Amino acid sequence: MTMKPLDRRTVLRGALATGAAITIPLPLLNAMLNENGTALAQSATALSPLYVTWFFGNGSLPGLWKPAKTGSGTAWDLSAQLKPLADHKSYITVVSGLEGKLVVGGVEHPSGSAAATTGAPLNGNAVRSESIDQTVAKIISTGTLKSLEVGVTPATPNGPQDSLATVSHGGPNARRTAEYDPKAVFTRLFGGGNTTPTPAQPDQAAKLAKVRKSVLDAVLADGARLEQRLGAADKARIEEHLTTIRDLEKSLDAGTTTGGTPAVCGDQTAPTVGKDTKSEAPPEVNTAMSKLTTLALACEKTRVITNMFSLPAAHVYYRHLPNMNDDFHDTICHTDPGDKSTQTRVDTGVQYAMRCLAEFLTDMKNTAHGAGNLLDQTLIYVTSDTGWGKVHDKTEWPVLLIGKAGGKLKGDEHFNYPGENLSRALLTVAQLMGSTTTSYGLDGGKVTAALPGIGV
Taking the C-alpha atoms of residue 75 and residue 70, their distance in angstroms, rounded to an integer, is 7
Taking the C-alpha atoms of residue 58 and residue 280, their distance in angstroms, rounded to an integer, is 15
Q: What is the pLDDT of residue 61?
A: 98
CA torsion 396→397→398→400, rounded to 10°?
Answer: -100
pLDDT at 289 over 90: yes
CB atoms within 10 A of CB 127: 28
Q: Give me the residue spans of the domains in the chain.
A: 1-36+207-267, 43-180+275-445
Q: What is the pLDDT of residue 220?
A: 66
* Number of DSSP helices (H) and strands (E) in the chain, helices first: 13, 12
pLDDT band at residue 236 using 50, 70 and 90 as cut-offs: confident
Q: What is the pLDDT of residue 204?
A: 41
The overall average pLDDT reported for the chain is 84
Query: Residues 197, 185: contact at Cβ < 8 Å?
Result: no
pLDDT at 199 over 80: no
Average pLDDT on 317-335 reads 98
Alpha carbon separation from 302 to 6, 225, 299, 342 (Å, rounded): 19, 25, 8, 41
Q: What would the CATH number be for the domain defined by 43-180+275-445? A: 3.40.720.10
**Residue 256 φ/ψ, nearest 5 degrees:** -130, 170
pLDDT at 382 over 80: yes
Residue 299 vs residue 210, higher pLDDT: 299
Using a pLDDT cut of 90, give the percent of the chain over it: 65
pLDDT at 165 over 70: yes
Name the strand (E) or helix (H) holding 50.
strand 50-55
Q: What is the pLDDT of residue 18?
A: 55
Query: Residues 432, 94: contact at Cβ < 8 Å?
Result: no
Q: What is the pLDDT of residue 111?
A: 98
Alpha carbon separation from 375 to 39, 44, 50, 186, 301 (Å, rounded): 21, 11, 9, 22, 17
pLDDT band at residue 217 using 50, 70 and 90 as cut-offs: low
Q: What is the pLDDT of residue 234?
A: 77
Taking the C-alpha atoms of residue 292 and residue 158, their distance in angstroms, rounded to an integer, is 29
Diameter of the chain measured on Cα atoms: 72
Average pLDDT on 318-330 reads 97
Q: Long-range pairs for 195-204 at CB < 8 Å and ≥24 separation?
A: 195/144, 195/145
Taking the C-alpha atoms of residue 61 and residue 44, their distance in angstroms, rounded to an integer, is 36
Which residues, including other chains, have CB under 8 Å from residue 366's CB and lie 6 or more apart?
373
pLDDT tens profile 266-287: 222 222 578 999 999 999 999 9
Alpha carbon separation from 75 to 67, 401, 412, 456 (Å, rounded): 11, 18, 10, 18
CB atoms within 10 A of CB 372: 18
Q: What is the pLDDT of residue 271?
A: 25
Over its C-alpha atoms, the chain yields an Rg (Å, rounded) of 22
Q: What is the pLDDT of residue 211?
A: 43
Q: How wide is the angle at C-alpha 275 spanned by C-alphas 272 and 278, nearest 5°?
A: 95
CB atoms within 10 A of CB 359: 18
pLDDT at 193 over 60: no
| DSSP one-letter string for 412-440 | SEEEE-TT-BTHHHHHHHHHHTT---S-B
Q: At what angle do helices 232-254 and 182-190 cross, to 10 degrees?
A: 140
Q: What is the pLDDT of residue 86?
A: 98
Q: What is the pLDDT of residue 85?
A: 98
pLDDT tens profile 36-78: 443 343 333 345 799 999 999 999 999 999 999 999 999 999 9
pLDDT band at residue 403 using 50, 70 and 90 as cut-offs: very high
pLDDT tens profile 435-444: 999 999 999 9
Average pLDDT on 166-174 reads 97
Kindly report whether the global pTM for this prediction surpasses the value 0.75: yes
